[in-house]
Amino acid sequence: MISLEIKKVAVIGSGLMGHGIAEVFALSGFEVKIEDAFPEALEKAKVSIGKSIEKLVKSGKIDQNKGQETLSRITYFSQMEPAVKDADFIIEAVPEIMKLKKEVFSGIDKFARNDALVASNTSNFKISSLAEGMKHPENVVGMHFFNPPVVLKLVEIIKGERTGNSAFDQAYDLAKKIGKTPIRVLKDSAGFVVNRINAPESLFFCLVLDQNVAKPEEIDTFARGQGLPMGPYELMDYVGIDTVVHSLDYYAQELSPEYGKCRAFRTMFDSGNLGLKTGKGFYVWKDGHAEIPKVKPTEKLELMDVLAVELNEAVKLIEEKVALPQDIEIGVKLGMNRPFGPISVAEGLTNAEVRKKLETLSSRYGTKVFEPAESIKNGKLKEIISTKSFDQNDKKTARPDETPASSASSPGESLVIFEKLPGKVARLSINNTKNNLLSSEVISELEKHVLALWNDHDVNVIIVTGKGPVFSAGAQLSQFFPGSMDFMEHSRKGERVFRLLSEIPKITIAEMKGYTLGGGFELSLACDLRVGTEDVQIGFPEVTLGLVPGWGGTQRLPRLLGTSRASYLILTGMRFSGKEAFEMGIVNRLIPKDNVDEETLKFAVDLAQKSAPTAAALAKRLINKGSEVPMDVGLEMESIAMGLLYGTEDLKEGISAFLQKRKPEFPGR
């Protein structure tokens, strides 16, 4: 059992991944030794790390002192024994060649301490295979970083067949200590999570070429048009066609012989056209960039083809108890640089349509790899993606201090934090990512709190804000919507909840700070009053993204400012400051940036005390509904409101307090 404090780290292999991992640990304060049998590789690694640190200093991410301290923590060795003999943690990062990795592990086993935590950065090979023959296989774990390690947050922590719980947990905690986002791979499987989900996708794009469905540049143009940062063939060129071919060979051995059906990639491999590393693959590469011919996107593929294949493999991972849904979602989003993962996709689709798509793909391309997983065949898609734990007795399948992929910014906190404050004030704080983005889940939680506050007589004023320095930078665009109707209903849901907020019989105050953009701006417009800092950035960027403000912005802003000025702000997508918003009449009061929360609360408490709740509720309705009806109808509504207020306890208290020159204490009746 491992229970040591890790201070000294050894990295075996000084290539792209090895020296990147070493830099990550050194930046986090660990003493690091890099070992490589080739002196020229070590020298190259030293230069690369130096340039990387210099870049971090120039960008302001670290200061000069930290840069120098980081470099001083790294030492270089060409022999394994002095590098690993006193190391607490050893990670192998040599090329993906099983024989080579086995030799490295044999050396580690010979020279390392018996209690050292030993990890492999392998992207595909089973950890159990690498640990065979080791004296202490219980101390061996997978710790798969993604390229480049200094930038990408994801680390897959893999439990081999004989990995102990202590080693598994310690590797997980270690990844968090170095600022990474780890996911648990609970069962050893080829490709783990991210590359396993990528496996059938790689086969799919090979079979597409084998069957001459479309050209690589047509498919890549299509993929980029779907919001992906790289097309599949450009990405394979970047990674290396040899890497893709070796991976498919390994999957053919470990997962299914069907992965051996790919011909197009094999032909490129045999010709030596490996992509970026050789200067030519699917494309010619110059200065690190692919020269992709300009063509029209193919119409012979659908985004759902790829999403269904990925989703199917994600379901298989859950069925095989390799990883839980929330870890799969995080893994794909961070590891593949995606706005959403397969679990989000599954939530927006029916079992029937996923099954039909997979059956069509399996038939068309002649492979069992695309056949629906058992849960999908049996109509249990929603059930399988809702799995929270594989075994209630397995205490390591989930931890109470961990949160799902789409969770709030801090463990244990809601996406909308509700606080009941002194002075008959409540505060609702958006708490989703550092920019407090508005997702379907956030909107649902907001609705829940608004309805709960509707008849709460202990609250007269509601502050709507964001946790931290930002109000809300807008909608969470990473959400998946299967079709236009679904996206329309998402818009209607937001409109409905914001309308509830505008009609709740309480005074609502939007506390605008940091960014108040897009949906965040619309949320503020749904409030009765808006306070903000002078430097808050406000605006509707929707038209620059191919959208329109879809949560009431096109209706509320013209009513507030008039058609001409609202048109200018919406159609240009320009940002403006809180000071400018105050001059336009959008912001009612400017508040100091340094104590924005305190000043807003003071304003809210003052309002809650001096405004009669019943009168404020009726005044809100007259203002909101009055703009929707002719003036004579509005005036009639106003006189009815006056009649309703006559004889209320609030009116009696208000007059009594005025005559007695004291502050009123309105009962709200």
Which residue numbers are catalytic? 522, 542
What gap in Å lies between CA 110 and CA 107, rounded to an integer?
5
Would you state the structure tokens that stand for residue 289, as one six-digit string?
A: 């960039």
Site of tokens 């609705």? 447
What gap in Å lies between CA 478 and CA 474, rounded to an integer?
12
DSSP secondary structure of 382-434: HHHTT---S-TT-TTS--TT---TT--SSTT--SEEEEEETTTEEEEEE-STT
Three-state SS sequence of 112-137: CCCCCEEEECCCCCCHHHHHCCCCCH
The SS3 call for residue 500 is helix
CA angle 141, 143, 144 (to 5 degrees): 140
Strand partners, 157: 143, 184
- Residue 292, number of CB atoms within 10 A of its CB: 18
Site of tokens 């993204």? 545
Would you state the structure tokens that stand for residue 73, as one six-digit string?
A: 């923590």
What gap in Å lies between CA 438 and CA 96, rounded to an integer?
41
- Are 200 and 312 a contacting pair, CB within 8 Å? yes
**DSSP 8-state secondary structure symbol assigned to residue 438:** B
What gap in Å lies between CA 163 and CA 246, rounded to an integer?
26
DSSP secondary structure of 530-596: EEE-TT-EEE--GGGGT---TTTHHHHHHHHH-HHHHHHHHHH--EEEHHHHHHHTS-SEE--STTH
What gap in Å lies between CA 630 and CA 36, rounded to an integer?
82
Neighbouring residues of 580: CB distance < 8 A, sequence distance ≥ 6: none
Query: Of all residues in the chain, what percent are helix, strand and coil, respectively (each to 5)?
Result: 50, 15, 35
Would you state the structure tokens that stand for residue 629, as one six-digit string?
A: 């009806």
- Are 76 and 34 a contacting pair, CB within 8 Å? yes
Helix spans in 211-324 (H):
216-225, 232-239, 241-254, 264-271, 303-319
What gap in Å lies between CA 45 and CA 55, rounded to an integer?
15
- Are 297 and 226 a contacting pair, CB within 8 Å? no
- Are 167 and 192 a contacting pair, CB within 8 Å? no
Would you state the structure tokens that stand for residue 413, as one six-digit string?
A: 């906190």
Would you state the structure tokens that stand for residue 613, as one six-digit string?
A: 């709740």
Would you state the structure tokens that stand for residue 381, as one six-digit string?
A: 């898609």
What gap in Å lies between CA 113 and CA 118, rounded to an integer?
10
- Residue 99, number of CB atoms within 10 A of its CB: 7
- Are 437 and 474 a contacting pair, CB within 8 Å? yes
Would you state the structure tokens that stand for residue 120, as one six-digit string?
A: 């492999």
